Amino acid sequence: MKLGHVQRFVASATAIAVLALPAAASAAPAKGKKGKDKDQEAEAEPEVEPEPEPEPEPEPDASFDADAAAIDDAEDTAGMKGRVGLGGTRSLSGVNAISLRYYPVSKLSLGALVGFSTFSHKEAGDDGDFSETRTVGLLGAGVQAFYWPVQGNRAKYISADFGFGGRGVVYVGFEPGDENPDTLDRPLEIDIEIPITTNVFIGDSVAITPEFGFVARIIPGNREPDEQDNSDTNPGSGVGERLGTTNGPGLGFELGEHGGVFFGLSITYFFGGADQKAKKAARKKKNK
């Protein structure tokens, strides 16, 4: 082979090699990039996350929520169970008394009332001098029970209960009377009252209670003289004179005889309201 042919062969091979290197270099990264893209695609697939565990339910608060309990109690039963009320009462039969009410259950109240009056003055004795003192008086006492089928919500500032009931009152007088043991001369009267009433509460402790109803009055004794010409002069509470006749034994009935619609009225303060329950609960919580 001639030298010129060798030189041309070497030059041609070198040229081919120079052209082939860029093509190989450009092909190699493309392959790597493809693999890299597959890896990225594989990494891009979202992993399935485990479902979150349910949060534990909060434990009930052991502390006593007095306000909420008071509202619930008021909505359900007016919160009257166990409460005691003290106030002033004018009953249907006319006794002005201090009254006490107690609720053994929310819709039933039991109570008692007592009132009295006295009057003293000087009078002449056997010697004609005004040296003796005469005292007369009247005591009225009784018991009562009321049922309250409709009760208001004590969460409101003004609420009302509606009810009916019964009351028994005894009037007993003390005054000098006939010394004859066979006659009934001192005042004695037994009254049975059947009121329809409402408790109008201002807040949850003060109640104004008007009443309207029926009264039966029993004044024991007999006006007819016996064989010894003795008769009972028991005047009772004085209803006979008030109604236009003489005072004495008899039987009377009244329904709205006094002026106005209501002729019985009470103003009572009830202990143990929602505010006091809240304060008591707060003290318990503070002491824990």
Q: What is the pLDDT along the chain (288 residues), one digit of tens a residue?
A: 555 565 666 566 666 665 555 555 454 444 444 455 555 554 555 555 666 666 666 555 544 454 544 444 444 558 899 999 999 999 999 899 999 999 999 999 999 999 999 999 888 887 878 888 888 899 999 999 999 999 999 888 999 999 999 999 999 998 776 567 778 888 999 999 999 999 999 988 999 999 999 999 999 999 998 888 888 889 998 899 988 899 999 999 998 665 455 678 899 999 987 666 676 677 677 776
Q: Which residues of 278-287 are buried (b: 16+ CB within 10 A; e: fewer)?
A: beebeeeeee
R_g over Cα of the chain: 50
Residues contacting 182, CB < 8 A, separation 6+ = 226, 228, 230
Q: Encoding tokens for residue 267?
A: 């103003």
The Cα angle at residue 39 between residues 36 and 40, in degrees rounded to 5: 90
Query: Which residues are registered as beta bridge partners of 115?
Result: 140
Distance (Å, rounded) from C-alpha 169 to C-alpha 114? Answer: 9
Distance (Å, rounded) from C-alpha 213 to C-alpha 196? Answer: 6
Helices 66-77, 274-287: axis angle to 10 degrees equals 150
Q: Which helix or strand (DSSP H or E) is residue 164 part of?
A: strand 158-174
Q: Which helix or strand (DSSP H or E) is residue 172 part of?
A: strand 158-174
Distance (Å, rounded) from C-alpha 58 to C-alpha 69? Answer: 20
